Homo-oligomer: A and B are copies of this chain.
């Protein structure tokens, strides 16, 4: 076998290592969660409903391909994505999947039909209306994820605290809620609660990572 062939085989073998990480649904879900902020194995178990050993093993796999890293903190081992480029890459994967796979599109519209009459708002319009002070942006993810990073101007009320804190919301402005991104239902649930209370609210599909991406590219062409 030629020198070049051997070199290419090695190279593509390495690329495929990353690919293999992305071939398990559970691992993708873990990566998405970690993209929102560092989490202990225990937290991941509680969120996903997977077994501890299972989560740990998947994290191991991700670690071998350098997509996540970990450190101990008291009793917990905290995992996090190994760099922003990982979180960003996940968005690329979502985009591609949604573009190419009709099935993903179907699953998404299916969801939106269940949460009927929930018109989503786009990033561009949101930012404009926030500037004019017309809307309040609400981050309904857990506190720690908000602290890891949030869209500027957003206030944090974790989903589980929402009903308690309803009073603290301004009543004269429209509410826009967001969560982990297009495939997280938390914000949809929040909207439902708000609407039931007679508060005008709409859902921002994008999350923090998508927002960052948008800000980086929007100067030239808004894709």
Residues of A at under 8 Å CB distance from B? 4-5, 7-26, 28-29, 49, 65-67, 82-83, 85-86, 89, 92-97, 99-104, 107, 110-111, 183, 185, 216-221, 223
Are A19's CB and B22's CB within 8 A? yes
Which of these, B8, B17, B100, B103, contacts A67 with CB under 8 Å?
A: B100
Are B25's CB and A97's CB within 8 A? no
A82 CA / B29 CA spacing, docked (Å): 26
Are B96's CB and A85's CB within 8 A? yes
Are A97's CB and B18's CB within 8 A? yes
A5 CA / B111 CA spacing, docked (Å): 13
Could you tell me the distance in whole angstroms from the C-beta of A188 to the nearest C-beta in chain B? 10
Are A100's CB and B18's CB within 8 A? yes
Q: Which of A10, A89, A94, A100 has the most CB of B within 10 A?
A: A100
Which of these, B7, B8, B15, B101, contacts A93 with CB under 8 Å?
A: B15
Could you tell me the distance in whole angstroms from the C-beta of A4 to the nearest C-beta in chain B? 6
Given contacts A65-B101, A101-B66, A220-B216, contact A107 B7 (CB under 8 A): yes
Could you tell me the distance in whole angstroms from the C-beta of A48 to the nearest C-beta in chain B? 9
Apart from A11-B107, A16-B22, A82-B100, what 19 extra A-B contacts exist at CB < 8 Å? A4-B185, A7-B185, A13-B25, A14-B103, A15-B22, A15-B25, A16-B25, A17-B97, A18-B97, A18-B100, A19-B21, A19-B23, A19-B28, A66-B101, A83-B100, A86-B96, A89-B93, A89-B96, A216-B220
